[in-house]
């Protein structure tokens, strides 16, 4: 059974209900400065979201070819 949208946590719930109690991994192929494009070029919600996500966070930048892309090319 699928949960209703009212019971699903939103991005704003993340900071309020998840403060430093467990680990979260978030992956993206965009650098932070390009995130406003995801949110209709509105920097206010982008800034708020990044502020909550990056508070006490470690950012790991991985460069190089994707292993998944490498596997797809070999097939």
Number of domains observed in the structure of the chain:
1
Q: Is residue 39 part of a domain?
A: yes
Q: What pLDDT does 36 receive?
A: 92
Res 16 pLDDT > 70: no
Q: Is residue 58 part of a domain?
A: yes
Res 66 pLDDT > 80: no
Interatomic CA distance for residues 23 and 34, integer angstroms? 25
Q: Is residue 59 part of a domain?
A: yes
- Grade residue 2 by pLDDT with cuts at 50, 70 and 90: very low
What residue numbers bound the domain in which 68 lies?
11-74
Q: What pLDDT does 23 receive?
A: 80
Q: Is residue 64 part of a domain?
A: yes
Interatomic CA distance for residues 75 and 64, integer angstroms? 20
User: Model pTM?
Assistant: 0.54
């Amino acid at each position: 059974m699928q949960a209703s949208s009212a019971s699903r946590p939103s991005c704003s719930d993340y900071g309020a209900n998840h403060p430093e109690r467990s680990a979260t991994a978030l992956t993206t192929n965009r650098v932070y400065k390009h995130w406003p494009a995801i949110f209709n070029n509105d920097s206010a919600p982008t800034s708020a979201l990044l502020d909550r996500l990056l508070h006490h966070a470690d950012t790991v930048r991985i460069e190089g070819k994707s292993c998944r892309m490498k596997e797809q090319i070999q097939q």
